[in-house]
Amino acid sequence: MEQYIAKAAALLGAGIAMGIGALGPGLGEGFVAGKACEGIARSPEHASLITRTMLIGQAVSESTGIYSLVVALLLIFTT
């Protein structure tokens, strides 16, 4: 019985980790993309530099989502 409670708690923790862990990168990447569109609209001649900087920023932001995925997978498969 105790092992079932532990497994349920691990699965619940994995779901919460992914839910909260995906919230930050999603909001951050949306904000960055919106500001990049505004920047390109203001100065189209700098579109390649803005796009490159945006993609680097989104890759860094997405790393937190990947970390939460790793934590969730550890919770799922180690109990």
pLDDT at 70: 93
Q: Which domain holds residue 58?
A: 40-79
Residues 8-53: pLDDT tens digits?
Answer: 999 999 999 899 989 989 998 999 999 999 999 999 999 999 999 9
| Domain-located, residue 61 | yes
User: Would you say the pTM of this structure is higher than 0.85?
Assistant: no
- Total structural domains in the chain? 1
What are the structure tokens assigned to 62, written together? 């997405």
How many other CB atoms are found less than 10 A from the CB of residue 12?
Answer: 11
pLDDT at 34: 95
Q: Tell me which residue of 68, 59, 79 sits closest to 4, measured CA to CA.
A: 79
66 falls in which pLDDT band (50, 70, 90)? very high
| Domain-located, residue 3 | no
What are the structure tokens assigned to 72, written together? 């969730």
| Domain-located, residue 59 | yes
| Domain-located, residue 77 | yes
Angstrom distance (rounded) from CA 60 to CA 76: 25
| Domain-located, residue 19 | no
